């Protein structure tokens, strides 16, 4: 039995991940930790978790716990991830893997030194709809893939426009702005399907002026086999301009889907227009957690590890490097 300890039982653990640990065969939540004791106790009561802590190291050192899920903001991922590794406990880390690429590599070096595996919550590598997209591409439904175009536009939140800034736009806690939180999912999935990004060029700005982190990113990149890609992320757009689309263009058609909206997958080729469902699972991290548990029991390797996740962090760091260098 994999007895999980969760460090940071905030919103992401309420539905997306937390309940899945108790639903996957051979897995259960043994304890949770949150600095606010009342909130930790409330989470434990509602999710029927037997123990709760207010100190992460007390949870890590709990002898009953044999695997750790780090669900705190990225600024503490390296600290807690490495502590779990040194305690000999496999660690599953929320994305982005860490504050930056160098911290990712610190985690991976510890993983190698102590022989303890690291997994990262890029769960789209296991979601049925996203695997369907990969299957359609692998089958040649749109022929040879030529290029990828992404657009993710969102408006600033009321908190952001009024100065009540969330941690996701504080680079010292999150690594950057919403691009790091949301764009990381997209770039990681493209790595999964097309291979590691080889080259990148970018323009990064803050157009809204609501916070110091970037709110506009446009990038061009190349994959193996001559595939090229472009992405534009804007987090100060008008509500009317909101969009979430990835279009993959081949020499015999194109394929369109969304990253976060779970709308149908659309393929258009010489035989016409075809629609495929892309349903949102009840707990989006379930399939990845299931593969991690199976791996810890000696069956297979999950598709999202510290090695693959570090590549995504490296690309994000490269994309925003000039912007943050200019601000120092």
Q: Which domains does the chain have, with CATH numbers?
A: 2-122 (3.40.50.720), 128-280 (3.30.360.10)
3-class DSSP state for residue 153?
Answer: strand
Antiparallel, parallel or unpaired: β 228-234 and 243-250: unpaired
Q: Residue 232: which H helix or E strand, with range?
A: strand 228-234
Residue with tokens 């323009």: 203
Whole-prediction pTM? 0.96
Q: Which pLDDT tens digit goes with each residue over 14-64? A: 999 999 999 999 999 999 999 999 999 999 999 999 999 999 999 999 999
pLDDT at 192 over 60: yes
**Whether pLDDT at 83 is above 70:** yes
Q: What is the pLDDT of residue 327?
A: 63
Task: Name the helix (H) or strand (E) containing 202.
Answer: strand 199-205
What local confidence, expressed as pLDDT, does residue 30 receive? 98
pLDDT in the model for residue 40: 97
3-state secondary structure 24-78: CCCEEEEEEECCCHHHHHHHHHHCCCCEEECCHHHHHCCCCCCEEEECCCHHHHH
Mean pLDDT score, 272-299:
97
Kindly state the helix (H) or strand (E) to which residue 2 belongs, with its residue range: strand 2-7
Q: Per residue in 228-263, pLDDT tens?
A: 999 999 999 999 999 999 999 999 999 999 999 999
Segment 104-122, tens digit of pLDDT: 999 999 999 999 999 999 9
Kindly state the tokens that stand for 51: 């123990």
Mean pLDDT score across all residues of the chain = 97
CA distances from residue 43 to 6, 59, 81, 87, 166 in whole angstroms, order as listed? 11, 15, 22, 25, 21
Query: Cβ–Cβ contacts within 10 Å for residue 310, how many?
Result: 22
**Sign of torsion, CA 303 304 306 307?**
positive
Q: What pLDDT score does 292 carry?
A: 98
Give the mean model confidence (pLDDT) for residues 127-151: 98
């Amino acid at each position: 039995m994999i007895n999980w300890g969760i460090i940071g039982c905030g919103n992401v653990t309420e539905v997306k991940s937390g309940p899945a640990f108790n639903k996957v065969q051979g897995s259960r939540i043994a304890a949770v930790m949150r600095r606010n004791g009342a909130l930790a106790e409330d989470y434990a009561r509602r999710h029927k978790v037997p123990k709760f802590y207010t100190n992460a190291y007390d949870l890590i050192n709990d002898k009953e716990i044999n695997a750790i899920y780090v669900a705190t903001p990225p600024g503490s991922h390296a600290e807690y991830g490495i502590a779990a590794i040194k305690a000999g406990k496999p660690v599953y880390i929320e994305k982005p893997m860490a504050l930056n690429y160098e911290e990712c590599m610190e985690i991976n070096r510890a993983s190698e030194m102590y022989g303890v595996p690291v997994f990262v919550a890029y769960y789209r590598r296991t979601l049925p709809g996203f695997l369907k997209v990969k299957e359609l591409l692998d089958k040649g439904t749109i022929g040879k893939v030529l290029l990828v175009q992404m657009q993710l536009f969102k408006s600033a939140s009321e908190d952001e426009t009024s100065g009540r800034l969330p941690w996701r736009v504080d680079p010292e806690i999150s690594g950057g702005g919403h691009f790091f939180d949301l764009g990381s999912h997209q770039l990681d999935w493209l790595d999964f399907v097309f291979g590691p990004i080889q080259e990148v060029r970018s323009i990064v700005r803050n157009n809204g002026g609501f916070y110091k982190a970037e709110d506009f990113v446009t990038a061009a990149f190349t994959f193996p086999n001559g595939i090229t890609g472009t992405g534009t992320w804007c987090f100060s757009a008008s509500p009317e301009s909101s969009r979430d689309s990835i279009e993959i263009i081949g020499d015999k058609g194109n394929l369109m889907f969304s990253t976060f909206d779970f709308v149908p997958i659309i393929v258009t080729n010489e035989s016409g227009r075809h629609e495929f469902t892309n349903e949102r699972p009840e707990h989006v991290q379930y399939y990845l957690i299931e593969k991690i548990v199976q791996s810890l029991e000696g069956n297979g390797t999950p598709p999202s590890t510290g090695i693959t996740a570090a590549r995504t962090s490296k690309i994000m760091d490269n994309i925003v490097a000039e912007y943050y260098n200019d601000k120092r």
